[in-house]
Amino acid sequence: MAGNGGRGWYAKVLAAALGVTAVAGLTSFWNAQLGSGEGRPERGAAAPPAPSQGRKAAPVPAGIVHASDAGARGVNITIDDGPDPVWTPEVLQVLRDNGVKATFCMVGTQARAHPDLVKAVVAAGHRLCDHTVSHDVTMDHKSKAYQSEQIRDAERMITEASGGVRPLYYRAPGGAFTPSSRHLAASRGMRPLGWNIDSKDFERPGTNAIVATVKNEISNGPTLLFHDAGGDRSQTVAALRELLPWLKEQGYSFGFPVR
Point out the residues that are catalytic: 80, 227
Q: Which of 164, 140, 162 has the alpha carbon at shortest distance from 150?
A: 140
Q: How many CA atoms lie within 13 A of 235 on its CB side?
A: 19
Q: Is 193 left (phi over 0), alpha (psi -120 to 50) or beta?
A: beta
| Cα 259 from Cα 245, distance rounded (Å) | 26
Q: Helices 87-98 and 115-123 meet at what angle, rounded to 10?
A: 10
Beta strands in the chain (DSSP E): 74-80, 103-106, 127-130, 169-170, 191-192, 197-198, 223-227, 253-255
